[in-house]
Structure 1
């Protein structure tokens, strides 16, 4: 099945029904993670100006926009985690499903953002996790956009993520070490850098990153 036909499996998904989204992801993400298919997605991204501009680096990870459907809001991303450990908890703008391809991370779940931290203008307090799980290669999960979580990845962990349409224009981040909170806006609503270490990846860097993924057996 072609890349586009695989991705089309998500077009009928109602992302307000997480079980439906998870079932679609459990079927499609493993197929998209086939090294030949994933290599094709990577090369298509590298050759597409708009997708290549979506490649970004942060302190804790790099993310690559492999597919962006403006009509449905569906996005497909590849994440590569660095050695830098960021002690943060956050929710998201959109619900998503993630499949671990390489490495692992410890996953902490805290609860719904409004229940955990209250209203946006109220100061957040550090909370204890309510669920902890080791995400290993081949494992997947689906998370609602309102749910607060944190991840602590082994260096070099790689995950494939499919994101549904955005339900929020911003999301909230809690610095677990400092006990301070901040809000990150949608990229469409802000022009400046918002996070430490944030920068656009130069297109010339993509080749070296591809070679690294090939060495891990994730791309052909």
Structure 2
């Protein structure tokens, strides 16, 4: 499949995302699941799109890298409010309890990670004001094929002890900022969305050219491309 054909086919598959009511968890889960099924069952559609994004070095500058995690933007709506991303977690990855500015649905493709839920942002914020660290209320090992919907106000964290790859379809932003628990500071730290970041902050997490090739090597080994 040519890159141009793959791009058009991805647009066709993701057209269903434009109809998702992100306040309806069941509907978002079901429609996103159909999208993921179409991508995974579409021959080399997903692999071709990934290779295109990597070859063009992300083009739009939306792909991001962190010490133990990479994010490839595979598709976004015309108004950029909806995005399909491929997440690559490296062994030893963990993040701190945090909420999101948007709700999303994720499906694990390879590997897996430990997924912890801490409750609503209101509950966690109240605990933090009282000087208490978030306590996990639900812990589950996400494995290949599992899928879940997470509402934006829920606080969660992930940890991976092996290479893990997932697809994530995110809905539109419903607030300007989000928070992360800082154990060192003993408080919640507020962060703004990408549109509110300064140039230095944005550049610090934009995926460097060399990292695209490293991500491709990982995805080849994982059998994704």
Q: Quickly name the TM-score band, shorter chain normalised.
A: 0.7 to 0.9
1:189 aligns with 2:196: yes
TM-score normalised per structure 2: 0.85
Q: Is the 8 A contact 2:113 2:142 kept in 1?
A: yes
Three-state SS of the structure 1 residue aligned to 2:79 is: coil
Alignment of 1:100-139 (within 5 A): 100-118=108-126, 122=129, 125-139=132-146
Gaps of 5+ in 1: none
**1:150 maps to which residue?**
157
Q: Which runs of 4 or more aligned residues in structure 1 lie more than 6 Å from their structure 2 counterparts after TM superposition?
A: none
Shift of 1:28: 1.1
Q: Is the 8 A contact 1:109 1:150 kept in 2?
A: yes
1:214 aligns with 2:220: yes
Q: Is the 8 A contact 2:104 2:171 kept in 1?
A: yes
1:32 aligns with 2:39: yes
**1:201 maps to which residue?**
207
Alignment of 1:47-66 (within 5 A): 51-66=59-74
Distance in 2 (CA, whole Å) between partners of 1:176 and 1:19 is 34
1:170 aligns with 2:171: no
Distance in 1 (CA, whole Å) between partners of 2:59 and 2:23 is 26
TM-score normalised per structure 1: 0.86
Distance in 1 (CA, whole Å) between partners of 2:125 and 2:205 is 29
Q: Is the 8 A contact 2:69 2:93 kept in 1?
A: no
Q: Is the 8 A contact 1:51 1:67 kept in 2?
A: no
Alignment of 1:10-49 (within 5 A): 10-34=17-41, 36-46=44-54
Cα deviation digits, residues 61-119 of structure 1 (max 9, x gap): 11111112142611011111123443510000110000001111111111110122149
Residue of 86, 89, 97 corresponding to 1:81? 89
Distance in 2 (CA, whole Å) between partners of 1:42 and 1:159 is 13
Q: CA, structure 1 residues 145+202, in 2 after alignment: closer, same or farther (shift >3 Å)?
A: same
Three-state SS of the structure 2 residue aligned to 1:111 is: strand
Gaps of 5+ in 2: 1-7
Bigger Cα displacement from structure 2, 5-14 vs 55-64: 55-64
Bigger Cα displacement from structure 2, 95-104 vs 206-215: 206-215
Bigger Cα displacement from structure 2, 136-145 vs 63-72: 63-72
**Structure (1 or 2) with the greater helix fraction:** 2
Distance in 2 (CA, whole Å) between partners of 1:194 and 1:176 is 22
Ranked by relative contact order (alpha carbons within 8 Å, sequence separation 6 or more), the top structure is: 1
Cα deviation digits, residues 110-147 of structure 1 (max 9, x gap): 11101221499x57631221111110000010100110
Distance in 1 (CA, whole Å) between partners of 2:197 and 2:164 is 29
